[in-house]
Amino acid sequence: MKNVDDLIDSAAELAEHGLSKGEIADELNVSRETASWLVERAGGGNAAADTAAAGTTADIHVDWSALGRDSTRLGYAASAMADLLTKEGEEVDLTVGIEKAGAPLATAVASRLDTDLGTYAPAKHQWEEGDIDEQGGGFSRNFAAIRDRDCYVVDDIITSGTTMRESVNAIREQGGEPVACVVLVDKKGYDEIDGVPVYSLVDVVRVDRDE
């Protein structure tokens, strides 16, 4: 995708297929507020009013499909992410991927670190409007359980930090201990989230200049 019009078209297509705004945000690697704005624009709604109500006027879209569509390239990225994680912990035997996009990355990272694999589906996938705090996510039973283990957490993008924070807390609620998190791109430049170190291959720093 090269411009905002492409994002609007993609948001419209995803909405037509029944995806929630939280899922659209995940697919397009934007914030929930930006996903709402894109869907509003696609539907001919008052996007400016929606943006003002959300309290945000800018976001950064990250398209990493050049990695995601090729298993070899994805593997190279996973090797770099795994290398970052080796700075933390020697007894970690579980890697948790945040669904959807974090799961394939976590699979490749887990292979390189020789750990078990777990996945977590965050609450944002059910989000449409309003507060999502009361809606919980969940761990897939098709993969490894937390079972009081130390673990790494893998995702593709940190946009606001809400999903990573939710995942860290969910792991702790299961008795596990997140040792470190790793992502492809961190839009906020976190060093840590709730005491857990955060590593990224790319940090994005937005520079606002007064005209």
161-180 confidence digits (pLDDT tens): 999 999 999 999 999 999 99
- From 34, 54, 74, the end of a domain falls on 54
Same structural domain, 8 and 96:
no
Same structural domain, 158 and 92:
yes
Cα separation, 88 vs 95, in Å, equals: 13
208 lies in some domain:
no
Q: Which domain holds residue 90?
A: 65-203
Strand order from edge to edge, sheet including 116-121: 138-139, 116-121, 94-98, 150-158, 177-186, 196-203, 192-193
Read off the pLDDT of each residue in 64-85 and give the average, rounded to a whole number: 96
- 89 backbone φψ class: left, alpha, beta (φ>0; ψ -120 to 50): left
185 lies in some domain:
yes
CATH of the domain at 158: 3.40.50.2020
173 lies in some domain:
yes
13 lies in some domain:
yes
pTM: 0.79
pLDDT per position as a tens digit, 103-128? 999 999 999 999 999 999 998 755 55
**Is the per-residue pLDDT at 208 higher than 50?**
yes
72 lies in some domain:
yes
190 lies in some domain:
yes
CA dihedral over 16, 18, 22, 26, signed as positive or negative? negative
Same structural domain, 9 and 73:
no
Percent above pLDDT 70 for the chain: 85
Q: Please state the domain count of the chain.
A: 2
pLDDT score recorded for residue 128:
56
List, in order, residues 6 or more apart from 130 with CB less than 8 Å away: none
211 lies in some domain:
no
- From 33, 54, 75, the end of a domain falls on 54
